[in-house]
Chain A
Amino acid sequence: MNLRRDVFQAIADPTRRAILVLVASQSLTAGAIAANFDTARPTVSKHLQILTECELLQQEQTGREVHYHINAKKMKEVADFIEPFRQMWDDRFNKLEGVMKAYQTKNKK
């Protein structure tokens, strides 16, 4: 439960969200990630540490370099909790669209 809560704390921070967006398309080294921010390198390292501890990021050793890549499974878990609520509204709105489209077609005749 604590770990779960940490995941949400982790992505509540704008810099950490930006890091996730960055790493989502390709795995990067800490240096390459830090190069995208004005923030001091140790601060970026701290963010990476938090994201790794929450399992949102995974480290991969390639030779002497450590690459960070996104943990898709964990990210999906994060998205999932708000998803039922979104889905409910999506269903409702789909229905609205269907009802009004049927009415529109009927009136055109």
Chain B
Amino acid sequence: MELKTKVHAEDGQHDLLITREFDLPVGLLFKAYVEPEFVEQWMGTKVLKLESKKHGSYAFETRNPQGQVAFVASGVIHDIIPNQKIVRTFEMSGAPFGVQLEVYEFEATGENTSKLNMHVIYESIAQRDQLLQLPFKQGLNMAHNRLEEIISKIK
């Protein structure tokens, strides 16, 4: 079975690409990112602030199962084009991952289907690899090859 969510992390790069195909019209997919009500539901987070506009900012608070604040994620929306694109920064409080730049591209693939390309750029290769929890410096190039498919068949 083809994986719906794919993660491409090129070796020695400080970015990664996450792609996902949805059984949703692109308008609804976009809505899930810009309306606090929906963000809270699917991210399992509390939206402290979400100004879905150019140069607006946001802050999400995530609590652990004990009800204590685990972290606050915040950033600035650099650009936003309805149903097409969001460019924003993302920073997690108390985490060593720095500030990342996120470029979301929303694409209609049909009347009721859509695709999300999420390009995440980290400050350094080390920070990206740390986030991916790599136990080594060398990453893995899962991109543009059929290995992933083959592996999923083996599983």
Bound-complex Cα distance A86 to B154 (A): 17
Bound-complex Cα distance A11 to B154 (A): 17
CB-based contact A93/B142 at 8 Å? no
CB-based contact B136/A100 at 8 Å? no
Within 8 A of A (CB), among B127-147: 131-136, 138-142, 145-147
CB-based contact A79/B28 at 8 Å? no
For B132, what are the chain A residues with a Cβ–Cβ distance below 8 Å? Answer: 81-82, 85
For B145, what are the chain A residues with a Cβ–Cβ distance below 8 Å? Answer: 14, 17-18, 21
CB of A99 within 8 Å of the partner chain: yes
CB of A66 within 8 Å of the partner chain: no
Q: How large is the interface on A (under 10, 10 to 19, 20 to 34, 35 or more residues)?
A: 35 or more
CB-based contact B4/A93 at 8 Å? yes
CB of A9 within 8 Å of the partner chain: yes
Binary B-proximity of A1-12 (CB < 8 A = 1, otherwise 0): 100110011011
Looking across the interface, which residue of chain B has its beta carbon closest to that of A100?
B28
Within 8 A of B (CB), among A1-36: 1, 4-5, 8-9, 11-12, 14, 17-18, 20-21, 24
For A46, what are the chain B residues with a Cβ–Cβ distance below 8 Å? Answer: none
Looking across the interface, which residue of chain B has its beta carbon closest to that of A8?
B138
CB-based contact A104/B7 at 8 Å? no
Bound-complex Cα distance A89 to B3 (A): 12
For B4, what are the chain A residues with a Cβ–Cβ distance below 8 Å? Answer: 90, 93
CB of B68 within 8 Å of the partner chain: no
Bound-complex Cα distance A16 to B95 (A): 36
CB-based contact B5/A93 at 8 Å? yes
CB of B32 within 8 Å of the partner chain: yes
Of the listed stretches B18-26, B50-58, B72-80, B98-106, name the one at the interface; the rest are far from the partner chain.
Answer: B18-26
Q: How far is the CB of A87 from chain B (nearest CB, A)?
A: 8
For B44, what are the chain A residues with a Cβ–Cβ distance below 8 Å? Answer: 95
CB-based contact A78/B38 at 8 Å? no
For A89, what are the chain B residues with a Cβ–Cβ distance below 8 Å? Answer: 5, 7, 18, 20
CB-based contact B38/A8 at 8 Å? no
Bound-complex Cα distance A84 to B135 (A): 13
Residues of B at the A interface (CB closer than 8 Å) are 3-7, 9, 11, 18, 20, 22-25, 28-29, 31-32, 38, 41-44, 116, 131-136, 138-142, 145-148, 150-152, 154-155
In order of increasing CB-CB distance, the 9 nearest A-B pairs are A90-B5, A96-B42, A79-B151, A95-B42, A86-B7, A99-B41, A8-B138, A100-B28, A24-B150
